[in-house]
Amino acid sequence: MAGKQEGYFNWMFGVHEPDFYGALDVDSGKSILFIPRLPEEYTIFMGRIKSTDEFKKYYAVDEVYYVDEKILTFCSRYTYLFDFIIYLELVQKSIQFCFSRVLKTPLEIEVMRYVNKISSDAHKMVMQKLKPGMYEYQGEAIFLDYCYFVGGSRAEGYTCICASGVNGAILHYGHAGAPNDKKIESGELCLFDMGAKYAGYTADITVTFPISKKFTDDQKAVYNAVLNARNAVIAALKPGVSWVDMHRLSLEVILTDLKKYGVLVGDVDEMIQKGIGAILMPHGLGHFLGCDVHDVGGYLEGHPPRPSEPGFSRLRTARKMLAGMVVTVEPGCYFNDVILEKTLKDENLSKFFNKDVLNRMKTCGNVRIEDDVLITKDGCEVLTDVPRTVEEIEEYLAKDLKLDMHSLIKSSV
């Protein structure tokens, strides 16, 4: 364990400490923890050593043993056969665990509502505090400070993406080679993708907002295209709906709106077939969410395989929705110079673009809108709570709320 517990182990046992092992008797439901036998010196550097009884009570398991007390080995000419059988059983159990992790229990949903609230409020704090001339990493610092100070969330679910201007076209910006270190200039859009992690569960939220508090007309056109896609998907999401169809719907809405604005020309269905949607939105609509930000269960035996069409091949699942699933809905539109330069050299693709309008739009910024959504028995519930429409964002940015984290603790916890 380096900073946070592995997803499956956290899901099954909720253990915080490193070097623990666990076993679960699937037939009886008996749970067993195996804890490390620690040396006396541990107390000097790490604190008091808890007993097996203390761990049994704290983690609500049936039995607790030291790791060195329970060792099972196979020593015979059939060892390899036994190993192979065990391997097959583990693979089968792993598939079953994936199925189980995809559908959230009421208690899991309660935790995910909380981590969404904290993350949503932290995003709103960033929107209020960030100003032109500040650096991207300062937005990250504000977010992390709020999540920990107010929400008790010590870890983030993933590396924060705090992109401004052209950096918004880099999908996983914020990594070690591009560590959110650009100065945010007046007039730019900020695309901030950040989520806290609490009690082992992660939020994943993206907001896009103008640092100068007002969208330009071009920025507004791109933002509304993405927002309309987000709204269309959320209106359609319910059990039985295909995630592939939802991705297609998001592309149809974005491309249709950009065509109306004059960025694109031609037939929208042909655009999708030729991969124009994948050029402007080079990622899938979203993914499962839970203990991991890209949670398990996307492609399992007995479910639809990964699509092969341009853009659709990047979907993290092709499954039909079930009540209890939590997914991210994150349509986007990006003007990546490298991709567009290559596209415009291909006459089969360049014919769909109005180059004069495109060249102007490339400077307006990049947009992603991401919400965490619970599939319910007859529709869906958006767990995220941040300003979404252009009007809501501009009104929120115009307010001088004088937010102070000390005064917000009681209302948030």
**Mean confidence (pLDDT) of the chain:** 91
| Structure confidence at residue 92 (pLDDT) | 56
Mean pLDDT value across residues 219-229: 98
Is it the case that residue 192 has pLDDT exceeding 90?
yes
Range with the lowest mean pLDDT among 21-30, 181-190, 219-228, 374-383?
A: 21-30
What pLDDT is recorded for position 2?
Answer: 43
pLDDT of residue 91: 52
Handedness of CA 377, 102, 151, 394 (dihedral sign): negative
Kindly report each contact of residues 161-165 with a partner whose C-beta sits within 8 Å and lies 24 or more positions away, as own/partner.
Answer: 161/191, 161/192, 161/193, 161/194, 161/206, 162/136, 162/137, 162/190, 162/192, 162/194, 163/136, 163/190, 163/191, 163/192, 163/193, 163/366, 164/136, 164/188, 164/189, 164/190, 164/191, 164/211, 165/189, 165/365
Average pLDDT over residues 212-220: 97
pLDDT for res 94: 60
Pairing of strands 196-198, 189-194: unpaired
Identify whether the C-beta of residue 154 lies closer than 8 Å to the C-beta of residue 148.
Answer: yes
Q: Could you tell me which residue, 379 or 95, shows the higher pLDDT?
A: 379
Average pLDDT rounded to a whole number, residues 227-249: 98
316-345 CB burial, b ≥16 within 10 A, e <16? bbbbebebbbbbbbbbbbbbbeeebeebee
Distance of CA 180 to the CA centre of its chain: 18
In this model, does residue 56 exceed pLDDT 70? yes
Report the pLDDT averaged over residues 317-345. 97
pLDDT tens digits along 336-376: 999 999 999 999 999 999 999 999 998 888 999 999 999 99
- For domain 27-102, give the fold: Creatine Amidinohydrolase; Chain A, domain 1 (3.40.350)
Q: Which helix (H) or strand (E) holds 47?
A: none
The full set of domain ranges for the chain reads 27-102, 106-407
| pLDDT for the residue 10 | 86
Per the CB < 8 A criterion, the answer to whether 147 and 196 are in contact is yes
Taking the C-alpha atoms of residue 4 and residue 124, their distance in angstroms, rounded to an integer, is: 26
Q: What's the rounded mean pLDDT across residues 257-278?
A: 97
Q: Would the pLDDT of 402 be above 90?
A: no
The model carries a pTM of 0.89
Confidence of residue 99 (pLDDT cuts 50, 70, 90): confident
Mean pLDDT of the region 149-156: 94
Select the more confidently predicted residue: 217 or 74.
217
Instruction: Give the Å distances, CA to CA, from 59 to 11, 33, 168.
Output: 12, 9, 42
pLDDT at 42: 86
Sheet with strand 31-35: strands edge to edge: 21-24, 31-35, 63-66
Fold of the domain built from segment(s) 106-407: Creatine Amidinohydrolase (3.90.230)
- DSSP, res 226: H
Is-contact 61 33, C-beta < 8 A? yes
pLDDT tens for 10-55 read 888 989 888 998 888 878 889 999 999 999 888 888 899 999 999 9
| Amino acid 78: pLDDT | 43
The string of pLDDT tens digits covering residues 106-119 is 999 999 999 999 99
**pLDDT, position 83:** 47
pLDDT of residue 1 exceeding 70, the answer is: no
Tens digit of pLDDT for each residue in 277-287? 999 999 999 99
- Give yes or no for residue 144 having a pLDDT over 80: yes
